Structure 1
Amino acid sequence: MLHDFQIKYLIFIMGLLISTNSFSQNKTGFKPSFKKSKKTTHKIPEDQAYTFGYLEVLENRDKPDGYTIKLPIYIFKSRSKNPKPDPILYTVGGPGYTSMLASKYMAYYKYLDDRDFILFEQRGTQYAQPSLDCPEWANAVYESNLPSFDAAKTDSLFQQAAKACNERLRKKGIDLNCYTTNQIAEDIQDLINTLGIPEYNLLTLSYSTKIGQVLMRDYPDKIRSVVMDSPLPLEVSYDEESVGNLLETVSMLLSDCENDDKCNAAFPNIKSRFFEYLKEKTINPLQVEVENPNNRALETFYLKGEDLISVFSSAYTSDVPNIPFEINKLLNNDLTSVKEQLSNLFQEPGAGTGIGMRLSVWCAEEYPFNSQEVIETQTYKYPETKGLSPATYDKNICEIWGVKKVAEIENQAISSDIPVLLISGAYDELTPVKWAESMTHNLTNAYHLIFKGWKHGPTTNWSNPCAMQAANDFFNNPTKKPNPDCFEQIKIPEFKTE
């Protein structure tokens, strides 16, 4: 969710459908409004009661006679005959990802047992109008991942893509400076006021935990409680730490394997062997031949440590028990899983939906606060992944995107006494446990749950809804740390050994 490492070859970005860019010009001053619509973004099961519509707000609040934008909103009715009066508002991570996909799965959301549930789409994402899609960027990702691509041309390829997308969006009248976290927070506040909601709860995930922090800082009066799943603190310089966090988390998982008698017997010294393997392949890349499904020709990939570590970084929580087994296959030159991943790279590129919004957020809020010296040092610090830049977008890309740096306050920790539940996955390399722990110092009514053996986004682990249960328990009683029975049963995973 937060960081496409853009590890050459192994990271494949799936495209989404392009939403229609549309503006309306307001000539007489403006007041936010919510208008119901029969046409929804997704088909909702017949037994789920809901209201769907669009929140219309100003793109630029400093221009009351300027363009307006429309954000799709679902208000799902609680399954309870006597629902609690304070709804939950949910928006997902990214930045640039759509929240609307969750609309199809409300039957699995425990929150509806007690409350109404509002699904909010952030400005610039897939179903918002306009959607800041960048097919140019998706094409660049696709082209750069092909084995025939000249790696020396990578920088110029992405710079050209950013320039083309930027120019196209600006020609449509889109103000790219207006797609930032604090603007999204204001959109949510406008929705709450427009709907006349006196008090509500916030459910946030990954990047959207930043939106939650801004709301807690700037608009705290109506917020009853907040759940932050995989939190990203405002004050963290994400890019400066990303590669180090990745290696630390891999080390943690492999140490857990070595401390488990069965796993260690099957894969002795797996941590040191894997790290040495990554170092060696960084110097002497692994050569892998894969059949191109489009023409049946054999194509040769050359994989370095920065590529091969994706055996961990591309895994989900459900994949965790298999990670040592998959690493051992790699060490024994069993390349079946690697070839399967590589074959996906020949699929056609997607639409790059939401990439423009992601670029605006990152280049206004993250890049300006990063130390370029630290970024350069981190790129070459670790011999296992030497050459892997921790930067989500490099300096040249952000200079091309040309958005203004946000105010200093957007990079500073918040303080609040609003009840907060912080949820972390112990093996989360994207938003590590230490970040959530650091937030507890300034949040006086905060509780922190760490899910052993889990990765990013515990509340979205559909194979085990324990984190969702904990979040719902907290919404029902935000003065107490939740401790559902399922949480006590979660242990370090039983690793697959054969």
Structure 2
Amino acid sequence: MIIRVVLALALSAPPVMTPSQAAPGPCPVPMPARTSCGFLEVPERRDAPERKIRVGYAVRLSTAANRKPDPVVYMSGGPASASMQLTAFLSRMFPDRDVVTVEQRGSRYSQPALACPETAQAMLGRLRPRPAAPADGLAAAANRCRDRLREQGIDLRGYNTKEIAADVVALREKLGYAKWNLFGVSYSTRVMVDVAAADPEGVRSVVLDSYLPESVSWYDDFDRNLADAMARLGVREPFEVMVARLNRTPARVAVLDPLLGREFTARMSGDDVATILAEALQDAEVTAVAPALVSALARGNDELLRPLADAAGEGLASHEFGLYHAVQCQDEVPFNTFTTKSRLFTINGDKEVCDAWQLPKAKPVNATTKAPVYVLGGRYDPTTPLRTAEPAAKALPSARFDQFRTSHAVFLASDCARQKIAAFVADPAATFITPCSTSTLPSPFRAADLHVTAAPYAISRSPWLAAPFALFALASLAQLVTAALRGRALAAYGGLAGVAFAGLIAESVNTMASRNETALAVGLPGTTGLYTWLAVASAVLTAAALFHERRWPHIAAAIISGGFLVWWFTWLL
């Protein structure tokens, strides 16, 4: 999927700060102990400093006896992704250091938050069966959002990478740390390189996960990046087959609108599915099941589109799109040519919004740093691919590059990556990072690993749909116990087969979920078909017991087992 602390010091460092000196307040998300949250007041535009805004941050003080004086400061990507929710996760990565999580200006936990439900709703409307009229399209929605934000006194020109980087520098000065270690992922890698260039004396080391260099033409490259990721996953041909099929005959899929809280029937073309997959592949668990998912969609298993469509809706509700558009329209879109129309509606949509907003083009920073830098990349990442991240990393004077067999936001998926990041921060000058003692990643699923079906996802949304399975399991258990006590062998063996079936299915589903919960959106474990023969045997033995002795317990057991098999074969499988 990816990819969500505090002030202090050391005996030899400047005076020890306390949470009260960091203007603490209530935290907007659950936090570990010894965490304080606050706001950094900064100018909305530093070239016109009259209007002030507030940037949210959290600081978690380390309790380690060997606590180091230089903390780790982390910012999520996006643009417009929240950071604070990862405070506890990062504190476990760096137990001997304070951890500071800083929000981007205009994001969810800053003030003001630049939400833009108008464009989120218009983008979701791309999937509605009858596209909206031009007057209600994305450009019109973007203008309504822009006008509403302007009425609130917000100057969108103040929400760009240069100002966000300056906020990070100002936060170090406010908290009183002499030096700290920068940690960025995806979009915020660009921010952190700018911070390192602007504040060299305050930076001890830099971690860049899924590096997005300033020189990349991100929009112009994205279709190629997605195709390359599909090729590396071994499903380039099925992917193109799926896209072509659904472009000819779009699928109709029930989708929950997260903004309105009700379902509608989406019309999903192949290009729409490609767009959603491009976003979904940023999650390592999705990457692991992508070969099975794409192959199934190429064969026409359109019922698997429901979890993808729901994920797209949820994604549109997870960002403050006013901030996202402001950053992209100043720092990214103007540096792309758009000479070829993309198949991805998000790419075209961003261009449409920026054409409507007409924000000024940012001046390239061309930042670099002499601080030690550790850059991580994911082999299957379609967003910040190795093809662009690795050369940019090698262009930094004191950088080393590492790739992992995962996707975007490597540190969220790979314990090996987390070990290496921690080792680098512990000793940035070391010429060698110790290999990982352990390494667990969501391993890819082979065709035999999954029995493709949409039923588990439907059950996850409506658990009552699993009632036939629960009833069969309970009936089998009751049949086993009562028949065994009364010495009725056929009925007892029928109950035993049913209990064994239910137990093996539950155990295999639990094992797969612990390995990769997302896999349940694609199907059941590949052993399901084999175990199904136990359910069939249970029904046959139960029917045989009924033939020999027509008693109501046998009648009830036969009806339940027969009904269960009809449900199992016609709906679940």
Band the TM-score falls in, shorter-chain normalisation: 0.7 to 0.9
Matches within 5 A, 1:263-278: 271-278=236-243
Q: Secondary structure at the match of 1:83?
A: coil
Q: Which amino acid aligns with 2:269?
A: L
Q: More deviation in 163-172 or 482-491?
A: 482-491
Q: Deviations along 1:199-243, whole A, 9 cap, x unmatched? A: 110010100001011112222121010000001001111111011
Distance (Å, rounded) in 2 between the aligned partners of 1:118 and 1:40: 13
Q: Which amino acid aligns with 1:324?
A: P
Distance (Å, rounded) in 1 between the aligned partners of 2:315 and 2:226: 29
Match of 1:146 in 2: 128
Match of 1:77 in 2: 61
Distance (Å, rounded) in 1 between the aligned partners of 2:129 and 2:172: 50
**CA pair 287-402 structure 1, distance change in 2 beyond 3 A:** closer
Distance (Å, rounded) in 2 between the aligned partners of 1:470 and 1:494: 26
| Per-residue deviation, 1:404 | 1.5
Q: Which amino acid aligns with 1:72?
A: G
Match of 1:258 in 2: none
Match of 1:451 among 395, 399, 404: 404
Match of 1:266 in 2: none
Distance (Å, rounded) in 1 between the aligned partners of 2:69 and 2:295: 53
1:325 matches 2:292: yes
Q: Tell me the C-alpha RMSD between the 2 structures.
A: 3.2
Matches within 5 A, 1:53-452: 53-64=38-49, 66-103=50-87, 106=88, 109-150=91-132, 153=133, 157-254=137-234, 271-282=236-247, 284-288=248-252, 290=254, 299=265, 301-308=267-274, 310-311=276-277, 313-315=279-281, 316-342=283-309, 350=317, 353-371=319-337, 375-377=338-340, 379=342, 385=343, 390-391=347-348, 393-394=350-351, 396-407=352-363, 409-410=364-365, 412=366, 414-452=367-405
Q: Are 1:96 and 1:353, in contact at CA under 8 Å, matched by a contact in 2? A: yes
Which has more radius of gyration? 2
**CA pair 220-334 structure 1, distance change in 2 beyond 3 A:** same
Q: Deviations along 1:58-94, whole A, 9 cap, x unmatched? A: 1122234x11111122110113112111111101101
Distance (Å, rounded) in 1 between the aligned partners of 2:332 and 2:443: 33
Match of 1:17 in 2: none
Q: Which amino acid aligns with 1:430?
A: T
Q: Which amino acid aligns with 1:94?
A: G
Match of 2:434 in 1: 483
Structure with bigger RCO (C-alpha 8 Å, 6+ apart): 1
Segments of structure 2 that go 5 or more residues without pairing to the other structure are 3-19, 451-573
Q: Deviations along 1:168-207, whole A, 9 cap, x unmatched? A: 1111111111111111111111111122211110010100
| Per-residue deviation, 1:102 | 1.9
Match of 1:267 in 2: none
**CA pair 279-487 structure 1, distance change in 2 beyond 3 A:** farther
| Per-residue deviation, 1:421 | 0.5
Q: Secondary structure at the match of 1:221?
A: helix
Matches within 5 A, 1:3-14: none
Q: Secondary structure at the match of 1:444?
A: coil
Distance (Å, rounded) in 2 between the aligned partners of 1:185 and 1:346: 30
**CA pair 61-344 structure 1, distance change in 2 beyond 3 A:** closer
Distance (Å, rounded) in 2 between the aligned partners of 1:166 and 1:244: 32
Hey, which of these two has a bigger chunk of helix by percent? Answer: 2
TM-score, normalized by length of structure 1? 0.78
Distance (Å, rounded) in 2 between the aligned partners of 1:295 and 1:189: 40
Distance (Å, rounded) in 2 between the aligned partners of 1:474 and 1:158: 44
Identity %, equivalent residues: 27
| Per-residue deviation, 1:129 | 0.8
1:495 matches 2:495: no
Q: Which amino acid aligns with 2:244?
A: K
Segments of structure 1 that go 5 or more residues without pairing to the other structure are 3-32, 255-269, 380-384
| Per-residue deviation, 1:479 | 1.9
**CA pair 210-34 structure 1, distance change in 2 beyond 3 A:** farther
Q: Deviations along 1:384-414, whole A, 9 cap, x unmatched? A: x5x75744611x421322322111x33x3x3
| Per-residue deviation, 1:158 | 0.8
Q: Which amino acid aligns with 1:83?
A: R
Match of 2:30 among 26, 40, 43: 43
Q: Are 1:121 and 1:127, in contact at CA under 8 Å, matched by a contact in 2? A: yes
Q: Secondary structure at the match of 1:233?
A: coil
Q: Secondary structure at the match of 1:113?
A: coil
Q: Are 1:136 and 1:162, in contact at CA under 8 Å, matched by a contact in 2? A: yes
Q: Are 1:34 and 1:55, in contact at CA under 8 Å, matched by a contact in 2? A: no
**CA pair 112-400 structure 1, distance change in 2 beyond 3 A:** same
Match of 2:553 in 1: none
